Amino acid sequence: MRKSVVLLSGGLDSTTVLYQARAEGYACYALSFEYGQRHRRELEAAAQVAGRAGVVEHQVVRFDLARWGGSALTETALDIPEHRSLADMTAGIPVTYVPARNTIFLSFALAWAEVLGAEAIHVGVNALDYSGYPDCRPDYLAAMAEVFRLGTRQGREGRPIQVVAPLLHLHKAEIVRLGETLGVPWAATWSCYRGEAMACGVCDACLLRRQGFAELGLTDPLPYAV
């Protein structure tokens, strides 16, 4: 059976990708990160999702990006944006961007994938309904695929580990529709940038998620403070 390391934050996108990889017949190894994020609540969701999806193994890698700050997701002195339109979200790189986060995540995933002899790494990045992050774009993924080819034994031997991003060109409503067909347990997922007991409902992640469900006329089972 083909193997894949799936980057699993516990959010709507990464959970959909996990269920998609599973549906495609991959033996899935879920990888999550505790990196000093304010929304550590997402790790509880990741654990629930991994258990429900029946992954082969779920690992959590811990390191501290909060020591450097530079993002509203790791530095409490910075405010998390609220009530923004999609146009505002994609107008520039927002304060919630965590410097080099996806590069770090993919590097860990690559190391584990090569040890496992995996064929792929699945990641839930999206280049349409997203918050303007530079490491969620097609040219970035293409560059990382070349790094995977050049920087690993498998790549040099002609068996490069593939970067698979099935949601890259989907709008949020299309992602929700896909998740519905795959049986994604939405109530177990977490998207909010805040680490509170209830999702705020007004940060970029919450707004995009809510819009996706609303466009399909579906009810998001996640409760919101607003």
Residues 89-105: what's their mean pLDDT? 91
In whole angstroms, give the CA distance from residue 186 to residue 179: 8
Residues 74-91: what's their mean pLDDT? 88
Q: What is the residue range of 204's domain?
A: 3-215
**pLDDT in the model for residue 91:** 79
pLDDT of residue 85 exceeding 90, the answer is no
Please state, in angstroms and as integers, the Cα–Cα distance from residue 42 to each residue in 2, 190, 205, following that order.
27, 6, 12
What confidence tens digit (pLDDT) does each residue in 68-77 have?
999 999 999 9
Would you say residue 170 lies in a domain? yes
pLDDT of residue 25 exceeding 70, the answer is yes
Would you say residue 25 lies in a domain? yes
Using the structure block, give the residue that is written with the tokens 């819009």: 211
What confidence tens digit (pLDDT) does each residue in 46-70 have?
999 999 999 999 999 999 999 999 9
Using the structure block, give the residue that is written with the tokens 């940038």: 193
**Is the pLDDT higher at 131 or at 146?**
146
CATH number of the domain that 89 lies in? 3.40.50.620
Would you say residue 226 lies in a domain? no
**pLDDT in the model for residue 131:** 61
This prediction's pTM: 0.96
pLDDT of residue 130 exceeding 70, the answer is no
Would you say residue 223 lies in a domain? no
What confidence tens digit (pLDDT) does each residue in 165-192 have?
999 999 999 999 999 999 999 999 999 9
Would you say residue 150 lies in a domain? yes
Q: What is the largest CA-CA distance in the chain?
A: 53
Using the structure block, give the residue that is written with the tokens 């309904």: 129
Would you say residue 224 lies in a domain? no
Residues 2-9: what's their mean pLDDT? 98
How far is Cα of residue 30 from the mean position of the Cα atoms in its chain? 11
Domain count, the chain: 1
Would you say residue 225 lies in a domain? no
Residues 137-158: what's their mean pLDDT? 96
Would you say residue 118 lies in a domain? yes
